[in-house]
Chains A and B, each alone.
Chain A
Amino acid sequence: MRLKTFIAAYMLFLGILFISIGIVSTHMANSTTYMLREKAAREFQTITTSLAREIAAVYSRFPGGYGTREPVGEIFSRFLHYYGQHGIDLGLTQSIYENPAYATVSFQPVGDEHFIFIYGTLPNPFRFYSLSYRLNVTANITDMQGIQQYLWVTSIIVSLVAAVLLYVILLKIFKPLEVVAVAAEKITEGQYGQQITVTGRNELAAVAVAFNRMSAQIEAQIQELEEENERKQQFVDNFAHEIRTPLTSIFGYAEYLQKASLREGELLESAEYIMSEANHMKNVANSLLELATLRDYQPEKTQIFIPELFIEIKQSLEKTLEERGIELRIQALAPYIDGQPDLIKALLLNLCANAISSCEQGKGIVRLSASIEKDNIIISIDDNGCGIPSDKLSKVTEPFFRIDKARSRNNQGGAGLGLALCKQIAHVHEAKMTIASTQGIGTLVRLTFTPPK
């Protein structure tokens, strides 16, 4: 591209330069010869006129004849002498008949020298005399040729300088493109987010701006893909762990029953472990199925009376609350909510159970409340439990995510799908679930139900 541009521009330049030099030098040659011809012709005119006048003067002084002396030869030899000093050769011929008036002008190179040659008759009544005139113009022609030569040499030098200049300019012009190419190459190699510095406001700068936008966009999208991929990978890893752990127990205890010499009570103990672990797997499977079903679920909404719902929830949790010594305060400042009753109840139960389990034994207070804010119905659950570390807050709704990376199932026994389900239930009800938490102080979950327009 750069080489092509260079060749094209340079050819154009050379063409224009040499054509104009050619025109100038031809014109110069023409005008020089024209000028010389004109000068020579005028001089010829002067010579013939003055020669004719002097001959006429002699004839009028001696009307009877000139005797033996030839007056014309004398006069002419004077002329010859005089003009010879100015580099003009003259010659006079006499013919018997009177010639018609004429004059021919021609250039005649002789060896290295140039001459203007004029041959013509004298004016009346001496037309039987013809004058030949030869002017040496070598100096003029050489001068002109010198100038021409000078012109050509100069133009060659100029064109060489122009070549260098043109190359440098092109290099500068194409520099941004090269920068773009380098950046694009880096992006190809996987170093996304390359940015180019943009200067000026020309087309290349526009390219650079567009490139920067594209680069940023690519980086953002790649990052999004990577995150999505990571989430999926995390899900698969977690799922494998979630399945393998109970399987290890089930397989292990079954094998123990089969192969070990059992002591008293071991049969029952092993069978219990097998059953509880199988039960856990069943829970995981059910929750996953629910999660999958909820993905495209359109809930059949009915009006749910909130105070009643809250009381039902409190009743369901009665036993747990008593065991843990935790107080559940309910406050319904909004009458109704639209939703699928079972799902809404499951959602609130799950969130309350989470809140209860985060609280310290005997010290917890969990509040379940409903209110109206700007036409939206807000249901919030807050507790004074252990809270969620801020770096984990965004991930708690991911399937199988557990705050403790050891994902201990011992304390809470869940499948790690509770909040993922809650989020999905909120989603199918077009409600927004936000979680705010401070470690050591408590957690607040807000569900914002927007009424249908």
Chain B
Amino acid sequence: MPHILIVEDDKPINGLIKKNLELVGHTCVSVYDGSSVFSVMENDSFDLILLDVMLPGRDGFEIIKDIQGKVPIIFLTARGAIHDKVTGLRYGADDYIVKPFDMLELTARIESVLRRTKKEEKSFKLGDVTADLAGRQVFFKGDLVDFTPQEFALIEALIKNRNIALSRDKLLEIAWGYDYGGDTRTVDVHIHSIRKKLNWDKVIKTVYKLGYRLEDRA
């Protein structure tokens, strides 16, 4: 389970990010100013830091200099100026997210940095189902279940964005890419097949007027 440090002084935004990341299975620690980053880091080790640029205490650029690439960093800021992005990336940030951002953008960018640093979630377990995401295999009650590559991609997309409702279009895009030829009916067909094979009728919820959501929250 990736462990993420959120450094953001605006309480509502900090809380929002934390909630979003916890939905998809990350664990988070929130920090509201620049000066307490290092004391938190002494007692805990993180796979990723989401860092606001303008912070009370010490600003994001100062903090990233001291971290010296030990932990991957994504800058998070309202300042969209090119010059700030360049500065951030030059200091060694792995990515840059400009506010306002949407949930899926946030999770996708985090996912991409985690994959690059090999800290991404490698397996997922829910009830009788265990998914080996690295080995691209899914087990039901210990037995390997046969899935087509398309079905597996769909399962992976649902797991990575679990507890978030995904539209059929979004699922299509995340699982199979933009250039995939099928229409949204294809998604329904595959979802039906997955539900049947894993007994996931209750796990993959149909969200009215939106799409599907894989739920693992009690």
Interface residues, chain A, CB within 8 Å of chain B? 237, 240-241, 244-249, 251-253, 255-256, 258-261, 263, 266, 273, 276-277, 404-410
User: Shortest distance in angstroms between A293's beta carbon and chain B's nearest beta carbon?
Assistant: 27
**Which residue of B52, B57, B102, B217 is within 8 Å of A255 (Cβ)?**
B102
| Bound CA–CA A287/B10 (angstroms) | 21
Check if B100 is an interface residue, CB within 8 A of chain A. yes
**B101 an interface residue at 8 Å Cβ cutoff?**
yes
A258 and B210 in contact (CB under 8 A), knowing A249-B12, A404-B56, A410-B32?
yes
Contacts of B114 in A (CB 8 A): none
Distance A246 CA – B19 CA, assembled complex (angstroms): 17
Indicate whether B9 reaches chain A with its CB closer than 8 angstroms: yes
Q: Is B16's CB under 8 angstroms from A253's CB?
A: yes
CB-CB < 8 A to B33: which residues of A? 406
B residues 156-179 in Cβ contact with A at 8 Å: 163-166
A255-B102, A261-B213, A405-B59 known, 12 other contacts, Cβ within 8 Å: A241-B54, A245-B78, A248-B78, A249-B12, A249-B13, A252-B103, A259-B210, A260-B23, A260-B163, A260-B165, A261-B165, A409-B10
A411 to chain B, nearest CB (A): 9
Least CB distance, A170 to chain B, in whole angstroms: 52
Q: How many A-B residue pairs have CB under 8 A?
A: 95
Q: A258-B210, A261-B163 are known contacts. Are A249 and B215 too (CB-CB below 8 A)?
A: no
Whether, in the assembled complex, B206 has its beta carbon less than 8 Å from a beta carbon of chain A, the answer is no
The answer for the CA separation of A253 and B14 in the assembled complex, in Å, is 11
Q: In whole angstroms, how far apart are the Cα atoms of A263 and B216 in the complex? A: 12
Q: Is B99 an interface residue (CB 8 A)?
A: yes
User: Please, how many angstroms separate the alpha-carbon atoms of A207 and B78 in the complex?
Assistant: 52
Main secondary structure of the interface of B (DSSP, over half): loop
What is the CA–CA distance of A260 and B20 in the complex, to the nearest angstrom?
8
Q: Once bound together, how far apart are the Cα atoms of A248 and B102, in whole Å?
A: 9
Q: Which residue of B lies closest to A411 (CB)?
A: B56
A277/B54 in contact, CB under 8 A: no
Which of B13, B54, B78, B213 interacts with A252 by CB under 8 Å?
B13
> What is the bound-complex CA distance between A240 and B10, given in angstroms?
15
How many B residues face the partner with a CB closer than 8 A? 37
Closest to A241 in B: B78
Chain A residues, CB < 8 A from B166: 259
**B103-A259 in contact (CB<8A):** yes
State the Cβ distance, B204 to closest chain A Cβ, in Å. Answer: 12
Distance between A320 CB and nearest chain B CB, rounded to angstroms: 21
Closest Cβ of chain A to B81, distance in Å, is 8
Residue B55 is within 8 A (CB to CB) of chain A in the complex: yes
Distance of A246 Cα from B11 Cα, bound (Å): 11
CB-defined contacts of A259 to chain B, threshold 8 Å: 103, 164-166, 207, 210, 213
Given contacts A245-B78, A249-B10, A252-B103, contact A406 B163 (CB under 8 A): no
B10 lies within 8 A of A244 (CB):
no
Cα distance A226–B44 when bound, in Å? 47
Given A237-B79, A255-B103, are A261 and B13 neighbors across the interface (CB < 8 Å)? no
Partner of A263, one of B10, B32, B99, B217: B217
Q: Which A-chain residue is minimally distant from B217 (CB atoms)?
A: A261
Q: Indicate with 1 or 0, residue by residue over B102-143, a CB within 8 angstroms of chain A CB atoms.
A: 110000000000000000000000000000000000000000
Note all chain A residues with C-beta closer than 8 A to B10: 245, 248-249, 408-410
* Measured CA separation A269–B164 after assembly (Å): 18
Question: Which residues of the partner chain B approach A406 to less than 8 Å between Cβ atoms?
Answer: 9, 33-34, 52, 54-57, 59
